[in-house]
Structure 1
């Protein structure tokens, strides 16, 4: 897939432009902070990946884009991601900015009302990690529950290119 640039706002209220991260491998995930299952598992996998990569982790950006901008404020993203790693990047934006990114990367998201939940609703969403190479090209789709050793192997191949 060709390079698809985007600009959103990170958890520290800084503009994040994907093209500024060319030269690094980028692992993208689309999730939300109140997710009860896939999202925390993915972030836990990211933490293990970062640890397993050692110094190579400096060449990998872990980028978490919200699918629930109504609830996922910058502050909430910052607090949530810091539980896993202060290096993880959390992104949000206007509905228009986010929709452009969702469309570019084929991200499915749907709000589902849940009457017996304090949250009021959950988000059904794409659960795969997308991996972009150093040129920003979308190269891999990885299941959230893929073995860490397999992901490390694939990331190291991309890092050598």
Structure 2
């Protein structure tokens, strides 16, 4: 069972990294090309704002789920660190229960937003807003899954994966 979860998380890790990097590259490229064209010709490409907006959303939300999976997010755990080992373990379990509920709720909300996006379209490219709103839906689904995996690891007494502070910068 754990081997299947590890393989699934590995596949998600590659998906998150590739989508986030590709979306960031597309965003920077279209903005740069538009700036160059505007300065050299005095005209701009009208569709670049929509493409950059779409790419920005995918870059941010897939990057967010990647950081969540590696536990590389900034945490203020001063109070938790002052607790004893058993209380610290209990506090971690409570925090992952809360994160599972919150991420699951945000997934539910973003799924509703994405599904209503079929009727509304972007101004120039005429893309349904479903595709714009799909990024947070996938991201919150992944973060809910990771929260459940981390909660299961804590309940079994396993150590959670984390990124050292030096590697975060």
User: What is the TM-score when the length of structure 1 is the normalising length?
Assistant: 0.29
Of Structure 1 and Structure 2, the greater helix share is in 2
Of Structure 1 and Structure 2, the greater strand share is in 1
Q: Report 1 or 2 for greater relative contact order, CA contacts < 8 Å, sequence distance ≥ 6.
A: 1
User: What is the TM-score when the length of structure 2 is the normalising length?
Assistant: 0.28
Which of 1 and 2 has greater Rg?
2
